[in-house]
Structure 1
Amino acid sequence: MKLLRRLTFALLLLLAVAYAGAVGYMYVNQRALQYFPQGEVTALAAAGLAGAEEVAIPVEDGSIHGWYQAPRPGMPVIVYYKGNSGSFGDEHERYAQFAADGYGFLAFDYRGFPASPGRISEAGILADALAAYDWAAEKGAPLLIWGRSLGTGPATYVASRREARALLLETPFLSAVNVAAERYPILPVHWVMQDQFRSDLWIEGVEEPVLVAHGTGDTVIEVSNGERLHALAPHPDELWIVPDAGHSDLWDAGIWSHARPFFEKALAN
């Protein structure tokens, strides 16, 4: 019996040490595990956006870099908050469609992503998001907010603190810490995660109409995140759920055909 107790104690001690090691590793390396900023910077000349210009927007310790295109007279500007991988220029097909339909746009990299130097953190991303919005607001056109994946966090944050005409959230998380808890259910992520992006709290302060788009085949952010966030919005509009669509499939699935009428209705109101 003593031998059995000693073996049991040794096993429990080994498991405790392994668990503590896993938690420690996750804590120390969490931002490297959370963000995927690697990628090439697309040259504006290669994107086929003849009316766009490169911009540098001042932030606290430097500047963030992106592209801006003014809208046709009387049309709004889409402030676009990118996702978690690569650089904003990777999605130039979207910006071309915005421009073709008369919309202006502002798209950029957060600090620490390829086009904007600096270190990545939630505080930096949120500060960059506000700076970009305020820069666009100075142009005078009505503003629409579009956030995709990681960008739904800063998009929701900005919408809760500024007065845009509409908020579109594409493949959003309820919160980043919720996604982490779903992936690592045995780890105390709510206690140790630094960049939690609490969209579930920020959405309560959003006065704009909200469209949420998600796919049931999304293995990066499970579709119930979008459904629950939509349910929390004070002024929910469409909840567009695409059967079998993955995390990066919604543009090809036709999200623009939902975004345009949503934006038009919001502007008319």
Structure 2
Amino acid sequence: MKLFRRLLLATLVLIALGYSAVVAYMYVNQRALQYNAQGKVFSLAETRLPKASDVSIDTGGSTVNGWYQAPKPGMPVILYYKGNSKSFSEEHERFEQFVADGYGFLAFDYRGFPASPGDISEANILNDALAAYDWLDAQTDAPILIWGRSLGSGPATYVASRREARALLLETPFLSAVNVAAERYPILPVGLVMQDQFRNDLWIKDVSEPVLVAHGTADRTIDGSNGERLYALAPDPAELWIVPGADHSDLWDAGIWSHAEAFFRKALSQ
């Protein structure tokens, strides 16, 4: 019996030590695990955006780099907050479509992503996001439309809760980043150790703009229930577009732009 107790105690100690080691590793390396900030930076010369310009935005002690093009007269401008992987410039096809339909746009890399130097953190991303809005607001009198994709749903929702835009589009958003992490690692105390939690569930309550949420039922990165629950918290919910069978990066090809345009037109008419 004593031997059994000793073996049981030793086993429990080993489990506790192993668990603690895993938690400690994830705490120390959490930003490397959370963000995928690698990828090619495309130049404007490689795109069909001959009238767009490279811009550098002062964020107060740092600089973020991106592209800007003014809208056609009477048209709005889209402030685009990118997702978690690669550079914003990877999505130039989207910006080309915006411009082809008369919209202006501003898109950029947060600090620590390929086109912008610096360290990645939630505080820096949110600061960069506000600085980008303020820069754009100073550039144009055109109506500003906010579009946040995946990770970008965090800064997009945060900015919409603190600045005045005409509409907020959230593509494959999370309820919060900490919620996604908790669903992915249910046995770990992520709520206690996660530094960059991106609490969309709190910020959305202060968003006065009409909101469109788009998600796919087969999203393996952020479960579609995140979008549904976030939409339910929006003070001015306009549309919940759920695409059967769509994964995390499928919504552009699934036709999100046509939904976005209809949503934007309606929001601008109000």
Q: Counterpart in 1 of 2:203?
A: 202
Instruction: Mark the runs of 5 or more structure 2 residues left unpaired by the alignment.
Output: none
Separation of aligned partners in 2, 1:185 and 1:51: 48
How far the C-alpha of 1:60 sits from its partner, in A, is 1.7
Separation of aligned partners in 1, 2:63 and 2:45: 21
Q: Counterpart in 2 of 1:226?
A: 227
Q: Counterpart in 2 of 1:185?
A: 186
1:253 partner SS: coil
Q: Counterpart in 1 of 2:79?
A: 79
1:122 aligns with 2:122: yes
Separation of aligned partners in 2, 1:256 and 1:267: 16
Q: Counterpart in 1 of 2:149?
A: 148
2:253 partner SS: helix
Aligned positions of 1:36-185 closer than 5 A = 36-138=36-138, 139-185=140-186
Separation of aligned partners in 1, 2:169 and 2:194: 26
1:181 partner SS: helix
Q: Counterpart in 2 of 1:259?
A: 260
Identical amino acids, percent of aligned pairs: 73
2:235 partner SS: coil
If the length of structure 2 is used for normalisation, what is the TM-score?
0.99
**Cα RMSD after superposing both structures:** 0.5
Structure 1 runs of 4+ aligned residues shifted over 4 Å read: none
Provide, for residues 19-71 of structure 1, a one-character-per-residue CA deviation record: whole Å limited to 9, x for no partner: 00000000000000000000010011101101100000001222100000000
Provide, for residues 66-117 of structure 1, a one-character-per-residue CA deviation record: whole Å limited to 9, x for no partner: 0000000011100000000000000000000000100000000000000000
Aligned residue identity for 2:29: N
Aligned residue identity for 1:240: W
Separation of aligned partners in 1, 2:59 and 2:210: 28
1:32 partner SS: helix
Separation of aligned partners in 1, 2:269 and 2:168: 15
2:174 partner SS: coil
If the length of structure 1 is used for normalisation, what is the TM-score?
0.99
Q: Counterpart in 2 of 1:246?
A: 247
Separation of aligned partners in 1, 2:60 and 2:191: 29
Separation of aligned partners in 1, 2:65 and 2:86: 14
1:252 partner SS: coil
Separation of aligned partners in 1, 2:192 and 2:60: 28
